[in-house]
Amino acid sequence: MYAITRGTGLEVGDLATWAGVLLSFATAIIAVFVFFGLRRRERRQALADLHVSLTSGETAAARNTIGTLLYSTSRSDLPSRLDAIAAYFALIWALQRSRNVFRTYLLPANELDSPMSRWGAVTRGRSRRDAAEALSWNLTEIAENVVRFHDEFCAQWDVEDADAWEEISPFVGADAIRRRLSSSEQLRSR
């Protein structure tokens, strides 16, 4: 082999090796940036899909059914027992889907005891703040209604929900919701 420059001892094969190493390193850096960009885009899409899931279709119908049962002042408007139980489980499944999105994308899963609590620990990332605004009220409302239904109707109607309740109760922060609902009812009764 011929030396590239006199006295350096650098050979043509050495130059090709270093060029290959540098090119591999640059490719790895680009791949990391592409990965994180795609991951951020995927998280945004998952949160958008979750928002649609929480506000339309089966979940919207279930929210309407449970909301009517819990908040209606007219006895003639109340849904049937079977419809209410089916709606209760549909809302539990919606909360499970939410929990799975939070776990998959490593989003904080604090208790749902106030609209912004789930996202309070997140201070960076615009997409996470946007998700907080889009999802917090819906999740809090669903969680409150699930807790109220569980407490007011499950024992009375012999609803066998022990497994589902044991799984979802810590995620929604059932005890914190009960305390908040109790304190707000005490304020209303004054």
Q: In sequence order, what are the residues at sequence separation of 6 or more whose Cβ sits closer than 8 angstroms to the Cβ of residue 60?
A: none
- Residue predicted with more confidence, 101 or 164: 164
Q: 7 is written with which tokens?
A: 């006295």
Q: Which residue, among 154, 145, 139, 176, has the nearest Cα to 55 in the 3D structure?
A: 139
Domain ranges, ordered by start, for the chain:
42-189
Distance separating the N- and C-terminal Cα atoms of the chain = 96
Model confidence band, residue 40 (pLDDT cutoffs 50, 70, 90): confident
Residue-level pLDDT at 42 = 84
Residue-level pLDDT at 21 = 86
Residue-level pLDDT at 114 = 47
Read off the pLDDT of each residue in 75-103 and give the average, rounded to a whole number.
91
Q: Is the pLDDT of residue 57 over 70?
A: yes
Residue-level pLDDT at 20 = 86
Model confidence band, residue 38 (pLDDT cutoffs 50, 70, 90): confident
- Residue predicted with more confidence, 120 or 56: 56
Q: Is the pLDDT of residue 6 over 60?
A: no
DSSP run (H or E) holding 34: helix 12-55
Residue-level pLDDT at 180 = 86
Q: Is the pLDDT of residue 124 over 50?
A: no
